[in-house]
Structure 1
Amino acid sequence: MLTLRPAQERGHAEFGWLSARHSFSFGHYFDPRFTGFSDLLVINDDRIAPGGGFPMHGHRDMEIITWVLEGELEHQDSMGHRARIVPGEVQYMRAGSGVRHSEYNASAQHSLRLLQIWIQPQTLGLSPTYQQIAFSAEELHNRLHCIAAPHPAPRHVTLAQDAYLYAGRFEAGAAWQHTFVAGRCAYLQLARGELLVNGIAMQEGDGLFIEQETRLDLLAEHTAEVLLFDLRHVPQ
């Protein structure tokens, strides 16, 4: 069963320096139909003006993933990390027992666009951790590449939840097939471009709820950037 979540129906917040689209309830946006899916709680599509950003603030017991689409993000946290994140890199922060961080557009001239993702951890009160991994253009080209998983490996970040995250960039006409273990569910976020998924047409910003499916057939109608969340089935 595939259910489309059209981009234009997402929540919207406008603060001048920030224009945000919320796939799930967040902040002042609340829709009882969209309060998360399995352990996936937040996908925010944020556009941050030059010099703008979030000052130091705190989180607890959340798996936080950032995927930059355009521009450069400047990060600082209470664990002592200072970093810049650019397209093709995944940033992961386990908030655990508590962490504070700030996020700013590193440029005074160019806008920043990113997807910020929150996943509910399996265990509360874990020690905070930070990971950042850069992927080559070849790793992401015309395929879905695992960038986050619940088991440690050198080429993805390690989540404290039974969840997998795949990312890919497709050129027009490229096709890819993805299979699932029976009993899993998934959510696909089309970050950019146009895509056919099992015959369903998706536009930039659309999401797709995936239940009781064992295979996805992806066909990029134009260049496309895709995130796919492979999740455990949690009765709603």
Structure 2
Amino acid sequence: MSTIATDLRVKIRPAQERGHADAGWLKSAHSFSFASYFDRNNMNFHNLRVINDDWVGPDGGFPMHPHENFEIFSYMLEGALEHKDTMGNGSTVHKGGIQFMSTGTGVQHSEFNPSSTDETHLLQIWLIPDRKNTTPRYEMLELSEEARNGKLQLFLSQDGRDGSIRTEAAADIYSGKLDGADTISFELADERAVYVHVARGEVQIGGQTLTDGDAIEAEGKGILELTNGKGAEVILFHLSPRG
């Protein structure tokens, strides 16, 4: 049985409590207040501002629109996403890929599902940066199956270590996969907090079974254990203290 140390403060965030939107070509679940879904008590968790679980229909997408002073990335679960921006970038990211923008002083971009037959499934995630009005940047990264099977692969960090993308947000973000006897342990030893989002599958955290779209918030000190996975894919956010 997995355990959570008693000095950790943990809150379960059930998937069914998320806000939902259906625009036909886009079906989305919002972990935090976004667009037409508003809850003043659910605006963010530390510097994690947005997790949108998006299903984009064939040929659907977002036309050119602006962002500034957010760190934004797309975490691809199925299908493909075509990106263009006013920095001159044009690329397509596929399942297992990360598409990242540090929007700083401002950038416009568009995102479309390039397939005429298949849906695209992604998580779009926004972080609040430590520094504002920086020069916008765009990067892509392919996640490694080997590096995250039963383990955590760091793919976004403030210092860009271990081959991760550098972000202006005070955050380390990991991807992990668990099946069967796999166990992932993560230590909280400072004033930072952890948010774990279950992208798909099933996993136990502290004896609680979580499935697609569920999440937990953890603060304090101790060991957070993830175990008993069944095709589980998780994103673990190690976030800054509250400002």
Q: TM-score, normalised by structure 1?
A: 0.96
Question: Which is further off, 41-50 or 133-142?
Answer: 133-142
Q: Which residue of 2 aligns with 1:17?
A: 25
The equivalent position to 1:203 in structure 2, one of 206, 211, 221, is 211
Q: Which residue of 1 aligns with 2:110?
A: 102
Which one-letter code corresponds to 1:197 in the other structure? I
Distance 1:220 1:83, change over 3 A: farther
Q: Which residue of 2 aligns with 1:30?
A: 38
Which segments of structure 1 move beyond 3 Å, counting only runs of 4 or more? none
State the Cα deviation string for residues 95-127 of structure 1 (Å, max 9, x = none): 110100000112111100000000011111100
Structure 1 gap ranges (5+): none
Which one-letter code corresponds to 2:92 in the other structure? R
1:156 aligns with 2:180: no
The equivalent position to 1:186 in structure 2, one of 162, 182, 194, is 194
State the Cα distance separating 1:21 from its structure 2 match. 0.2
The equivalent position to 1:39 in structure 2, one of 40, 47, 62, is 47
The equivalent position to 1:123 in structure 2, one of 107, 122, 131, is 131
2 CA distance for matches of 1:230 and 1:208?
12
State the Cα deviation string for residues 43-72 of structure 1 (Å, max 9, x = none): 000000011000010001100011000111
Map 1:23-102 → 2, pairs under 5 A: 23-102=31-110
1:136 aligns with 2:144: yes
How many residue pairs match? The answer is 235
Structure 2 gap ranges (5+): 1-8
Question: Which is further off, 166-175 or 37-46?
Answer: 166-175
1 CA distance for matches of 2:162 and 2:236?
20
Which one-letter code corresponds to 1:93 in the other structure? M
Aligned-residue identity in percent: 38
**Does structure 2 conserve the Cα–Cα contact (< 8 Å) formed by 1:172 and 1:224?**
no
Q: TM-score, normalised by structure 2?
A: 0.93
Which one-letter code corresponds to 2:186 in the other structure? H
State the Cα distance separating 1:180 from its structure 2 match. 2.3
Which one-letter code corresponds to 1:115 in the other structure? L
State the Cα distance separating 1:4 from its structure 2 match. 0.6
2 CA distance for matches of 1:132 and 1:59?
18
What's the C-alpha RMSD, in Å, of the aligned pairs?
1.2
1 CA distance for matches of 2:143 and 2:54?
22
State the Cα deviation string for residues 52-93 of structure 1 (Å, max 9, x = none): 000010001100011000111111111111111112221110
2 CA distance for matches of 1:6 and 1:19?
18
1 CA distance for matches of 2:143 and 2:150?
14
**Does structure 2 conserve the Cα–Cα contact (< 8 Å) formed by 1:188 and 1:209?**
yes
State the Cα distance separating 1:135 from its structure 2 match. 2.3
1:169 aligns with 2:177: yes
